[in-house]
Amino acid sequence: MQSHFDKLREEYNSFIYNGYKLSKKDGFIFIEYNFEMGEIKFAPTTKIRIENLNIINDYDSDMARQIVFSLGMVELVSYWKSACPPQIIVKCGALSKEDCIWWKKLYYNGLGEFFYINDIDVGFDDFVDIKSTQEMIFAPQSFNKSDLNIIPVGGGKDSIVTMEILKKMRRKNFCFTVNDQPARAESANIAGYDDNKIIKTYRTIDKELLNLNSRGFLNGHTPFSAIVAFLGLYCAYLIGAENIVLSNESSANESNIEGTSINHQYSKSFEFETDFNNYVEQNITKDIKYFSVLRAFNEMQIAKQFSAFDSYHKAFKSCNVGSKKNIWCANCAKCLFVYIILSPFLTTKELVEIFGENLLDKKSLKEIFDGLVGFSDVKPFECIGTKEEINSAIIKTYDNMKRGQEQLPYLIKYYVERQEKTSCDNFDVLIKEFNSKNNIPQKFMPYVKEMYNYVTSV
């Protein structure tokens, strides 16, 4: 029997990237893309607020268009995945054979969760063929520089830690956001960045995609952080910034499914970060570096550092479910993970003030808890830490509660009953880790070492 995936690929056998338009009006730069799939047309848009920025490079130069073209190569994935046509035809930019393989790798690994959730079994060689109709390959160029840095801010603990450890560089930093959310603006403001120091971008999904989803076309997770990468690159170019400073930890490299490479956080991984830098150097410019200043650290270390920044504890939010209402939903894997990873460093009272309730005492979260600690084979598809980090945090919290003669909440009692080993050996090892597989430039290392000295102190 023919699968839904195969039927859609048969009906829609090609996806066409026709082009893009750049314009400037009323304090904004507008980008509009033109994709088609059979009779279906897509025209997603992105706008960038520039009235607060000192634009020192032409928004519509050859280099600008090369970046915007590349951003479109990521944007198209959201629409291509609705039917997964076996061929992508690119009519508005040239791609070498090596470029096509680069994009295929991003698509294939970035869609690993999507393939898994939709029960799609397809190999790298067979899932799509990318063809470009243009031949003029763009040569990397230089641009006007300003010695500035861009820090993407998502409203969670990680970007807050980055802003804080780089506070001595604040004069040279701009925050960068994709779509407004209160937690993003508030955390940036607390860090000392007013509205004029935030590069605000707004990305709009074409409603036709939502229509297709309602009609039963395929849907699922895409490598969103790759969109942040290329959109951030365009904004960095506009103001002459030479560094895009991310907040991705070493834990982003772990897979979600035991025995596979399926990783919800693939476009936050060190592998993608390195691939992205190579692509940009070969196809756009050698003058912008894209790296995570937190790649040297794991989630446990970041949680310890964040716990010291109490002025942010009421402002930060990482819950995707509650993001539109600026709340923690208190019922998802992300909420439970953040609660757990902070629990060795904050009291139950402090955690309840943040989340609204004691998440370790909720029986309804038992199934999610099983996935987080490894009692089940599938780690929740969220941006969360490794199983080792989660288990170590729980054991450390259990130990703290025992010493404080605190009543054990439901999930801690459940964990202790199922888990034979409840010593904190791993916790001390994790706190002292330093991940040398990073792309952190030397001039940022003093700030990294300062944080390392703090988190490894007693």
pLDDT of residue 396: 93
Strand, coil or helix: 346:
coil
pLDDT of residue 302: 96
The label of the residue with tokens 């025995």 reads 259
Looking at residue 370, what DSSP letter applies?
H
Give the type of residue at 373.
Answer: V
- pLDDT, mean of residues 256-270: 68
Copy the structure tokens of residue 164: 């804080």
- pLDDT, mean of residues 14-19: 98
- pLDDT, mean of residues 100-108: 96
Asked whether 206 and 72 are in contact (CB, 8 A), the reply is no
Asked whether 239 and 364 are in contact (CB, 8 A), the reply is no
Reported as a pLDDT band with limits 50, 70 and 90, residue 318 is: confident
Q: Taking Cα atoms as reference points, which of 106, 388, 378 lies closest to residue 256?
A: 378
Tell me: pLDDT of 252 over 60. no
Asked whether 371 and 413 are in contact (CB, 8 A), the reply is no
Reported as a pLDDT band with limits 50, 70 and 90, residue 343 is: very high
Reported as a pLDDT band with limits 50, 70 and 90, residue 38 is: very high
Percent of all residues in the chain with a pLDDT value above 70, rounded to a whole number: 94
pLDDT of residue 258: 59
d(CA 342, CA 344): 6
d(CA 337, CA 384): 6
Please state, as a whole number, how many other Cβ atoms lie within 10 Å of the Cβ of residue 394. Answer: 25
Q: Taking Cα atoms as reference points, which of 195, 108, 197 lies closest to residue 151?
A: 197
Q: Could you tell me which residues are beta bridge partners of residue 23?
A: 30
d(CA 273, CA 112): 17
Copy the structure tokens of residue 325: 């209402």
Tell me: pLDDT of 369 over 70. yes
Tell me: pLDDT of 77 over 90. yes
Percent of all residues in the chain with a pLDDT value above 90, rounded to a whole number: 76
Q: Taking Cα atoms as reference points, which of 368, 343, 283 lies closest to residue 98?
A: 283
- pLDDT, mean of residues 167-179: 96
Q: Out of 17-26, 67-76, 233-242, 381-390, which region has the weakest mean confidence (pLDDT)?
A: 381-390
pLDDT of residue 256: 59
Tell me: pLDDT of 181 over 80. yes
Q: What is the CA radius of gyration of the chain?
A: 22
What are φ and ψ of residue 87, in 5° steps?
-135, 135
Tell me: pLDDT of 14 over 90. yes
Q: Please, what is the average pLDDT of the chain? A: 92
Rounded to two decimals, the pTM is 0.94
Tell me: pLDDT of 263 over 70. no
Better-scored residue on pLDDT, 284 or 262: 284
Tell me: pLDDT of 257 over 60. no
Q: Out of 12-16, 56-60, 91-95, 137-141, which region has the weakest mean confidence (pLDDT)?
A: 137-141
Strand, coil or helix: 47:
strand
What are φ and ψ of residue 29, in 5° steps?
-100, 135
For 112-146, the pLDDT digits (tens) are 889 888 988 889 899 999 999 987 778 889 999 99
Asked whether 63 and 93 are in contact (CB, 8 A), the reply is no
Tell me: pLDDT of 260 over 70. no
Q: Out of 108-112, 238-242, 338-342, which region has the weakest mean confidence (pLDDT)?
A: 108-112
Copy the structure tokens of residue 54: 């000192």
> Most distant CA pair in the chain: distance in Å?
71
Reported as a pLDDT band with limits 50, 70 and 90, residue 91 is: very high
Asked whether 157 and 306 are in contact (CB, 8 A), the reply is yes
Asked whether 448 and 291 are in contact (CB, 8 A), the reply is no
For 412-443, the pLDDT digits (tens) are 999 988 876 655 568 889 999 999 999 999 99
Chain centroid, CA 293 distance in Å: 14
pLDDT of residue 291: 96
Asked whether 291 and 246 are in contact (CB, 8 A), the reply is yes
- pLDDT, mean of residues 211-225: 92
Tell me: pLDDT of 207 over 80. yes
pLDDT of residue 151: 98
Tell me: pLDDT of 262 over 80. no
Tell me: pLDDT of 148 over 60. yes
Calculate the alpha carbon distances from 50 to 25, 72, 148, 199 in Å.
10, 20, 16, 8
- pLDDT, mean of residues 264-285: 91
Tell me: pLDDT of 354 over 60. yes
Asked whether 265 and 179 are in contact (CB, 8 A), the reply is no
pLDDT of residue 52: 97
Tell me: pLDDT of 384 over 80. no
The label of the residue with tokens 């944007």 reads 75
